[in-house]
Amino acid sequence: MNAVRVKICGLTNVDDALMAADAGADLLGMIFYSPSPRYVTVDRAREIVRAVREAGFEHVRLVGVTVNAPRYFLDLLLEDVGVDLIQLHGDEAPVILSDYEGRAYKALRPHTEEELDLDAPWFLDMGLREGPRLLIDAAVKGAYEGTGVLANWDTARRLARRYPILLAGGLTPENVAEAVRSVRPWGVDVSSGVEQEPGKKDPAKVRAFIELARGVREEGKG
């Protein structure tokens, strides 16, 4: 089985981004949603993108996390800031994702399996062919990111059997191995679970999270 991919999200500064890339992260996420304590400006994001690229981490994909952002802002992130992918983490309509097919994927926060069954088909075919097709996060009323609440693993597991998904929501070094064993996702996404404080990562937690997430797939070899 392929090693699980790891996305370290909520990055706000160059040092943390370089540390996460050096620790082996596959994706680095920056949040462009002003109410978030992990919000980054366009100028700061440019600095982070430039630093990661100049450091030679060519395999790392940089992700702009947006919430109900207008198209001109999505274009700005892709073409000017230089992110590789957009994560649509709000209440975006499928037509927006279709405009960015191959460069964006949708985050869903289903309350129930029935809700997932209704929403997922609208977005799955427009996600990334090599993954992720969707991100599954916890459903918390009025909150879009970094809640620390676990997603519904049973719901995510059913989807992960058929599609490459990113599992988010309340993951930490303490529970990520269990999450990977249970859900078998394409990748896992963490923000608050590896922080010293909102917007500042803990290097030891980041490295432990990546090692523990990947260790599950290593167990299955041979």
pLDDT tens digits, 60-89? 999 999 999 999 999 999 999 999 999 999
| Whether residue 218 has pLDDT greater than 50 | no
- Mean pLDDT in residue range 170-196: 96
pLDDT computed for residue 126 by the predictor: 83
- Mean pLDDT in residue range 141-150: 55
Active site residues: 9, 137
pLDDT computed for residue 127 by the predictor: 82
**73's tokens:** 């802002």
Q: What percent of the chain has pLDDT over 70?
A: 91
Torsion of CA 22, 186, 45, 88, to 10 degrees: -170
User: Where in the sequence is the domain holding 153, given as residue range(s)?
Assistant: 5-219
> First and final CA of the chain: distance in angstroms?
10
CATH number of the domain enclosing 30: 3.20.20.70
| Whether residue 172 has pLDDT greater than 90 | yes
Tell me the C-alpha distance between 220 and 198, whole Å. Answer: 35
pLDDT computed for residue 130 by the predictor: 82
Maximum separation of any 2 CA atoms in the chain, in Å: 49
**97's tokens:** 């994702």
Q: Are 148 and 193 in contact (CB under 8 A)?
A: yes
pLDDT digits (tens, 9 = 90+) for 88-136: 999 999 999 989 989 999 999 877 777 778 888 888 888 888 889 999 9
pLDDT digits (tens, 9 = 90+) for 24-52: 999 999 999 999 999 999 999 999 999 99
Look at strands 27-32 and 5-8 and give their pairing. Answer: parallel
* φ, ψ of residue 137 in degrees (nearest 5): -120, 175
- Mean pLDDT in residue range 137-159: 69
Count of the separate structural domains present in the chain: 1
Q: Are 164 and 186 in contact (CB under 8 A)?
A: yes
